[in-house]
């Protein structure tokens, strides 16, 4: 299992980037040529198939397969649910899941770097997802990537000016997910700053303390 995950890490990461490109390009350019759009659709589903193969391989290599599937129910959901058109936005969660698997081993202990990466990724993915959901709605006020990026930035930072907001059900689900991420990110940043300040105070106190006899 561990050998498989190590060997699959880089290919899956590259496939995740290709998947994001294939998903985001038609959203950002609605006037895309139909042949290119069809190619990107096939590419996204091909990458999706690779995700399914990776999960199937991990299940096959697991010692207790039923328990493994039960513990990784979210991987099952990320593979199965986006096949339903109303839940297609969940495809982006698979991209985030692959990045999280790759980052878990390399960014452990680097909380500030990890939090900054999560915040940037959340803003970009949130903007793409809400634009996909909103741009064709009759009463939408998020109709360009600039609007979507501004909305995602104000939402993830919990500012929420209210000048841009989703009007579709899918867009509101994206908003709820981004709000939860924003609260978690703000909490992590606050905890990191508090930990750093406590460490600085303790270090200054230890340096200023008289030497023990």
24 Cα distance to chain centroid: 14
Residue 31 lies in a domain: yes
- pLDDT tier, 87 (very low <50, low <70, confident <90, very high otherwise): very low
Residue 181 lies in a domain: yes
Asked whether residue 213 is domain-assigned, the answer is no
Q: Decide if 41 is inside a domain.
A: yes
Residues 93 and 45 both lie in one domain: yes
- Residues 41, 28 share a domain: yes
- 76 and 46 part of one domain: yes
pLDDT for 85 equals: 46
Answer with the residue of higher pLDDT: 110 or 200: 200
Q: Is residue 160 part of a domain?
A: yes
State the average pLDDT over residues 135-142. Answer: 88
Nearest residue to 157 (alpha-carbon basis) of 132, 134, 187, 129: 187
Q: Most confidently modeled of 29-33, 106-110, 112-116, 149-153?
A: 149-153
Provide the domain limits for residue 68. 1-106
Checking 45-52 for CB contacts under 8 A at 24+ apart, the result is 47/15, 47/16, 47/18, 47/19, 47/22, 48/19, 48/79, 48/82, 48/91, 48/94, 50/11, 50/12, 50/15, 51/12, 51/15, 51/78, 51/79, 51/94, 51/98, 52/79
Whether residue 141 is predicted with pLDDT greater than 80 in this model: the reply is: yes
Check whether 102 has a pLDDT greater than 80.
Answer: no
pTM: 0.63
Q: Is residue 175 part of a domain?
A: yes
Average pLDDT over residues 122-135: 86
pLDDT at 108: 43
Query: What sign does the CA torsion over 129, 130, 131, 135 have?
Result: positive
Do 135 and 186 lie in one domain? The reply is yes
In this predicted model, what pLDDT tens digit does every residue of 35-79 receive, in sequence order?
888 888 888 888 888 888 888 888 898 888 888 888 887 777 777
Residues 66 and 30 in one domain: yes
What's the rounded Cα separation, in Å, for the pair 95 and 68?
21
Q: Do both 57 and 120 map to the same domain?
A: no
State whether 3 and 93 are in the same domain: yes
- CA gap 69, 59 in Å, rounded: 7
Looking at 46, 75, 106, the residue that finishes a domain is 106
- Alpha carbon distance 126, 78 (integer Å): 17
Residues 80 and 21 in one domain: yes
Looking at the structure, tell me whether residues 1 and 102 fall in a common domain. Answer: yes
Number of domain units in the chain:
2
Same domain, 153 and 54: no
Report the CATH number at residue 174.
1.10.287.70
pLDDT at residue 120 above 50?
Answer: yes
164 belongs to a structural domain: yes
Q: Which pLDDT score is estimated for 114?
A: 63
Out of 49, 74, 106, a domain closes at 106
Tally: H helices and E strands in the chain: 8, 0
């Amino acid at each position: 299992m561990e050998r498989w995950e190590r060997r699959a890490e880089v290919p899956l990461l590259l496939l995740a980037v290709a998947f994001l490109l294939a998903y985001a390009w038609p959203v950002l350019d609605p006037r895309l040529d139909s042949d290119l759009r069809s190619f990107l659709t096939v590419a996204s589903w091909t990458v999706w198939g690779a995700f399914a193969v990776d999960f199937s391989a991990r299940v096959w290599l697991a010692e207790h397969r039923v328990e493994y599937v039960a513990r990784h129910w979210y991987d099952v959901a990320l593979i199965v649910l986006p096949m339903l058109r109303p839940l297609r936005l969940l495809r982006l969660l698979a991209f985030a899941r692959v990045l999280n698997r790759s980052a878990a081993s390399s960014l452990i202990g680097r909380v500030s770097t990890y939090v900054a990466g999560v915040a940037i990724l959340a803003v970009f993915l949130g903007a793409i997802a809400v634009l996909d959901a909103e741009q064709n709605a009759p009463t939408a006020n998020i109709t360009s990537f600039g609007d979507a990026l501004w909305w995602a930035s104000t939402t993830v930072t919990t500012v929420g000016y209210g000048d841009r907001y989703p009007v579709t059900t899918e867009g509101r689900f994206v908003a709820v997910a981004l709000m939860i991420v924003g609260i978690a990110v703000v909490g992590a940043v606050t905890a990191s700053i508090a930990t750093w300040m406590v460490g600085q105070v303790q270090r200054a106190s230890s340096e200023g303390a008289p030497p023990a006899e």
